[in-house]
Amino acid sequence: MAVKLERIKGTRDLLPEEMAARRWVFERIREVFERYNFHEVLTPTFEYTTLFQLRSGEEVVEQLYAFEDKGGRKVSLRPDMTSSVARLYVNSFQNAPKPVKWYYIANMFRYEEPQSGRYREFWQAGVELLGSDRVEADAEVIALFVESYLNTGLRDFTVNIGDRVLLDEFARMLGVKDDVGLMRLIDKKDKLSREDFISALRDFGLTREGIDKVLSLIGIRGKPDEALPKAEELFTGRGAEEEIKRLYELVDLLDAYGVKDHVLVDLGIARGFDYYTSVVFEAMVPNDLGIGSVGGGGRYDNLISVFGGKPTPATGFAIGIERLIPILEWKGLLPEPKLRPDVYLIPIGDDPEVKRTTVGLVSSLRRADVRADYELKGRKLRKALEHAGRLGVPYVILIGRRDLTSGRVVVRDMETGEQKDVEVGAVVSFVRELLRG
């Protein structure tokens, strides 16, 4: 009895058309990463589970593909690249010239319930900038974040910027002991009704006045020139003042980069990971697909020391490819995939010399950067032409014994039906001229 094998839940089979779109998106993003002088790295697909526990605690194991290998070692498939990149840095690059600027495009794994734009195996494109605590580093990374989306043709999006220092200061102002819990609640505010959100705030022991202050905080969202003055009114204390000043400097630099029009200040952003220490940000695209953030990041100055390295400031981001591609498709921004060859060669009959000439020509065309294919099933001429028509091939080359005796082949335009005899030695240049024209 045959066994029916299916895909594992939360994974996908990507067909040639989908892979063509994905490759196009990767290359648009890669172009910008490299223009900013970031260099590609790739770490192992699995790491010791301890690496991810150190970053986010024991509870993170619930979303890991964690297992024991045959040597009894506890390992996990990577849920993100930041931890692995930090481990790589601590292992081998702590004494490298700073800043270290790395990027990656790789697959990740998380055991989550699949939904729109979320899978258990997914891809991210991201960068990590290690070794600079200056606001210029934050601006560099956020500008790169914006331009990565712009290079895919996306225009209708915002990068919303928040700040963990301000949120921590806010929790102290309210007298909340479980500041991490409050940050997580604020981060999930858009997934809750107003009533449920207020009820959850009461669970932190907040008074009516404290709840009103939280509502004021999450209401600070808009263009930087409007939002930052409101933040100055809400926050008191030296630490908050310095951080707001840093945000003003950040926005000014983003204006110099030419990306300020895509930036909003949103002090209700906490981001999910506890290791963020200052500026955080996420990209939002209005859509009807039920997709929220399409990427995000922030500053994480404590992570390297958590992994045993010398204290090293760092910032970075990850773009969610599984969320970005459906939005680009929905907006009609993905190019039509070109899966057909430019030219299709059909040997007529089983003559050995015809076959050798066909293979030689198809090889010469490929070496000349022409997409070329040839009839591999031995179809008769009529069937082979029908197959070429279904492929949408613009040109076909017919190679028969009679033509070869005069050193020529026939090139047919599949749209017009026009045919031309071409010398075998001139086929490559002739086809390239056709394709250019």
Q: What is the pLDDT of residues 303-330, one digit of tens each?
A: 999 999 999 999 999 999 999 999 999 9
Name the residue with tokens 């770490």. 43
Rounded to whole angstroms, the Cα distance separating 7 from 124 reads: 21
Q: State whether residue 332 is helix, strand or coil.
A: coil
Contact 317, 102 (CB under 8 A): no
**Residue 48, helix vs strand vs coil:** strand
Q: Is the dihedral of CA 393, 398, 399, 405 positive or negative?
A: negative
Q: Which two tokens stand for residue 282?
A: 């996420």
Q: What SS3 class is residue 224? A: helix
**Ordered per-residue pLDDT tens for the chain, 437 residues:** 788 889 999 999 999 999 999 999 999 999 999 999 999 999 999 999 999 988 775 556 788 999 999 999 999 999 999 999 999 999 999 999 999 999 999 999 999 888 777 899 999 999 999 999 999 999 999 999 999 999 999 999 999 999 999 988 888 887 777 777 777 787 777 778 888 888 888 887 788 888 888 888 888 899 999 999 999 988 877 888 999 999 999 999 999 999 999 999 999 887 765 688 999 999 999 999 989 999 999 999 999 999 999 999 999 999 999 999 999 999 999 999 989 999 999 999 999 999 999 999 999 999 999 999 999 999 999 999 999 999 999 999 999 999 899 999 999 999 999 999 999 999 999 999 999 97
Please answer whether residues 13 and 7 qualify as being in contact, where contact means their C-beta atoms are separated by less than 8 angstroms: yes
Q: Is CATH 3.40.1160.10 what the domain over 16-330 is classified as, yes or no?
A: no
End-to-end CA distance of the chain: 56
Maximal CA-CA distance, the chain:
96
User: Each residue of 134-165: pLDDT tens digit?
Assistant: 999 999 999 999 999 999 999 999 999 999 99
Closest Cα to residue 300, out of 101, 123, 82?
A: 82
- CB–CB of 347/375 below 8 Å? yes
Specify the fold of 343-436.
Rossmann fold (3.40.50)
Threshold 0.85, pTM exceeds: yes
User: 3-class SS at 373?
Assistant: strand
Q: Which two structure tokens, joined as six digits, stand for 401? A: 């014994």
CA distance 382 to 16: 27
Q: What single DSSP character describes residue 2?
A: P
Question: In one letter, which amino acid is 133?
Answer: D
Rounded Cα–Cα distance for residues 213 and 207 (Å): 10
Please report, for residues 120, 332, 361, the alpha-carbon distance to residue 435 in angstroms, rounded to integers and kept in the order given. Answer: 42, 26, 16
The domain limits of the chain are 16-330, 343-436
